[in-house]
């Protein structure tokens, strides 16, 4: 688990700002669920046989003897909310941002506290809705500046297909049981689809020779997948059909997808999503969504040389020569800040040299210098910290100059 602090935090803030703009353009609204839930929320939503529930959750008893878990992903908490929210949220379009927790072996871009941006589009299944959510995810990646991404799509079929798919895969795997790893031999009985997702080389070779899952599904499921792929094609979003893509959670039905980035090397998975049916008590919730790990996104951006992370606002440093100027400049700094201009100054009455050193250290774009001479004339000396040029301005001109720069940078 890591601290997030300046200057790196500006990259995170920039990603979050861009994400909100894109998500809200698709009419998704933000939801913030607790980081701590009753363990049953995740067991019911994710499934007891998943690696997340069996191996990766931070689970403990509180003082009242209740089993609680830190959220390992965002969907389960949203589903718990939807189950009790009533008909107003039956077709809700929601997004979330925040930390998740998994007690797994840390690896590249995956920490025990990690951060996700995710969406949930609730409502009955339709291929166009699935395609729209995929289009939203690709749009978001583009808005973040990622270009080298590959979209892979498959189908898990209807819930009624599960028994036939599982039986077909077991039959196809049976001649190769001795080649499979211990985990996959166990998965043959508990959750055979997880064999398709194994990273062991021997298991991967076996999986490559298996028939596609769709061979064991109904024609209805195969047509649904074709319609999703056709819609993506009309939207000019390239997609690769990957018949062995399963995703890791039990609640998926119909469309599942994964996005990879060649910039990440061997562990190239960037994010993924899919359609789901989740039962919470007597209520079944349908929807489609995705989640993206911010740490992985930043890794891919760094690999592509596109970390950016600028706050979008230039920093103005106010420099005071003398005590009287310090008092007046304090008011000036507040005036600039109230107009949305990013501003700082030294309040301890240090020398001009020390103040200019502080401005340079803070990467200020401009310094506003004022002493007795400027106060008598009612002017301000504006210095460009990049090229060293200076000009003398009166207050209206100074405010106008910075307000125009703020507008060009996309500020308020």
SS3 labels along 280-292: ECCEEEEEEEEEE
Q: Which of 5-9, 147-151, 366-370 has the lowest mean pLDDT?
A: 5-9
Q: In a 3-state reduction of DSSP, which class is residue 5?
A: coil
Angle between helices 127-143 and 9-25 (to 10 degrees): 150
Mean pLDDT of 12-33: 95
Pairing of strands 269-280, 283-293: antiparallel
pLDDT of 2 higher than 90: no
pLDDT exceeding 90 applies to what percent of the chain?
A: 63
Distance, C-alpha 5 to centroid of its chain: 18
Q: What pLDDT score does 222 carry?
A: 95
Which spans in 26-147 are helix H? 39-46, 51, 75-85, 127-143
- Nearest Cα neighbor of 384 from 357, 366, 410, 403 is 366
Q: In a 3-state reduction of DSSP, which class is residue 111?
A: coil
Residue carrying the six token digits 């002017």? 379
pLDDT of 66 higher than 90: yes
Q: What pLDDT score does 312 carry?
A: 54
pLDDT in tens, 145-191: 998 899 999 999 998 998 999 999 999 999 999 999 998 998 888 88
Task: Please give the backbone phi and psi of residue 302, each rounded to the nearest 5 degrees, phi first.
Answer: -65, -40
Mean pLDDT of 184-212: 88
Q: What pLDDT score does 407 carry?
A: 63
- Where residue 381 falls among pLDDT bands split at 50, 70, 90? very high
pLDDT exceeding 70 applies to what percent of the chain?
A: 93
Which spans in 174-254 are helix H? 182-190, 201-208, 219-234
Q: Which of 21-25, 62-66, 110-114, 381-385 has the lowest mean pLDDT?
A: 110-114
pLDDT in tens, 247-267: 867 789 999 999 999 888 767
Q: Would you state the structure tokens that stand for residue 12, as one six-digit string?
A: 């995170």
pLDDT of 242 higher than 70: yes
- Nearest Cα neighbor of 347 from 364, 326, 324, 374 is 326
Q: pTM above the 0.85 mark? A: no
Question: Contact 46/57 with Cβ under 8 angstroms?
Answer: no
Give the DSSP letter of residue 107: B
What would you report as the CA-atom Rg of the chain, rounded to the nearest whole angstrom? Answer: 27
Query: Looking at per-residue confidence, does 255 or 408 come out higher?
Result: 255
Task: Calculate the average pLDDT of the chain.
Answer: 89
What whole-number distance in Å separates Cα of residue 304 and Cα of residue 33? 33
- Where residue 412 falls among pLDDT bands split at 50, 70, 90? very low
Q: Would you state the structure tokens that stand for residue 142, as one six-digit string?
A: 């583009």
Q: What pLDDT score does 51 carry?
A: 65
Q: Would you state the structure tokens that stand for residue 25, as one six-digit string?
A: 């353009």
- Nearest Cα neighbor of 291 from 155, 8, 94, 106 is 94
Q: What pLDDT score does 160 carry?
A: 92
What whole-number distance in Å separates Cα of residue 255 and Cα of residue 228? 8
Q: Which of 277-286, 325-334, 364-373 has the lowest mean pLDDT?
A: 277-286
Q: Which domains does the chain have, with CATH numbers?
A: 9-158+217-303 (3.30.930.10), 316-408 (3.40.50.800)
Task: Please give the backbone phi and psi of residue 138, each rounded to the nearest 5 degrees, phi first.
Answer: -65, -35
- Where residue 141 falls among pLDDT bands split at 50, 70, 90? very high
Residues 6+ positions from 18 with CB-CB distance below 8 Å? 140, 143, 144
Q: What pLDDT score does 411 carry?
A: 52
Q: In a 3-state reduction of DSSP, which class is residue 32?
A: coil
What whole-number distance in Å separates Cα of residue 207 and Cα of residue 18? 39
Q: What pLDDT score does 329 carry?
A: 92
Residue carrying the six token digits 């089993």? 67
Beta strands in 84-198 (DSSP E): 93-101, 113-122, 149-155
The b-or-e profile of 53-81 (16+ CB within 10 A means b, else e) is beebbeeeeeeeeeebbbbbbbbbbbbbb
Q: Which of 119-123, 203-207, 381-385, 405-409 has the lowest mean pLDDT?
A: 405-409
Mean pLDDT of 64-80: 92
pLDDT of 409 higher than 70: no
Residues 6+ positions from 196 with CB-CB distance below 8 Å? 169, 207, 210, 213, 244, 245, 246
**CB-based burial label for 245 (10 Å; 0-12, 13-18, 19+):** buried
């Amino acid at each position: 688990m890591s601290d997030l602090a300046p200057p790196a935090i500006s990259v995170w803030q920039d990603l979050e700002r861009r994400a909100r703009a894109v998500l809200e353009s698709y009419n998704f609204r933000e939801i913030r669920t607790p980081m701590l839930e009753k363990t049953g929320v995740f067991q019911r939503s994710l499934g007891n046989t998943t690696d997340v529930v069996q191996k990766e959750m931070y689970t403990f008893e509180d003082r009242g003897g209740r089993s609680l878990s830190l959220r390992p992903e965002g969907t389960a908490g949203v589903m718990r909310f939807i189950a009790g929210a009533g008909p107003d949220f039956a077709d809700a379009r929601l997004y979330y941002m925040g930390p998740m927790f998994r007690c797994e072996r840390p690896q590249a871009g995956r920490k025990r506290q990690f951060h996700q941006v995710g969406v949930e589009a609730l409502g009955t299944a339709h291929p166009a809705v699935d395609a729209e959510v995929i289009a939203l995810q690709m749009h978001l990646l583009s808005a973040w500046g990622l270009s080298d991404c590959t979209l892979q799509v498959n189908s898990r079929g209807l819930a009624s297909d599960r028994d036939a798919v599982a039986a077909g895969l077991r039959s196809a795997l049976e001649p190769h049981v001795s080649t499979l790893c211990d985990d996959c031999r166990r998965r043959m009985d508990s959750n055979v689809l997880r064999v398709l997702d194994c990273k062991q080389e021997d298991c991967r070779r076996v999986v490559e020779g298996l028939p596609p899952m769709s061979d064991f599904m109904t024609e209805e499921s195969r047509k649904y997948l074709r319609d999703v792929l056709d819609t993506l094609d009309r939207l000019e979003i390239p997609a690769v059909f990957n018949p062995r893509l399963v995703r890791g959670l039990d609640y998926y039905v119909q469309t599942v997808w994964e996005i990879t980035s060649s910039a990440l090397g061997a562990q190239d998975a960037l994010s993924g999503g899919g359609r789901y049916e989740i039962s919470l008590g007597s209520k079944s919730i349908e929807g489609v969504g995705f989640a993206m790990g911010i740490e992985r996104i930043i890794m891919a951006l760094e690999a592509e040389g596109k970390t950016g992370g600028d706050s979008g606002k230039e920093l103005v440093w106010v420099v005071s020569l003398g005590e009287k100027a310090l008092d007046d400049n304090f008011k000036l700094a507040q005036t600039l800040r109230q107009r949305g201009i990013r501003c700082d100054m030294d309040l301890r009455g240090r020398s001009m040299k020390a103040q200019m050193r502080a401005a340079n250290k803070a990467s200020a774009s401009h310094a506003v210098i004022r002493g007795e001479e400027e106060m008598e004339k009612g002017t301000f000396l504006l210095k460009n910290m990049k090229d060293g040029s200076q000009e003398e301005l009166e207050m209206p001109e100074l405010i106008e100059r910075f307000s125009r720069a703020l507008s060009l940078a996309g500020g308020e």
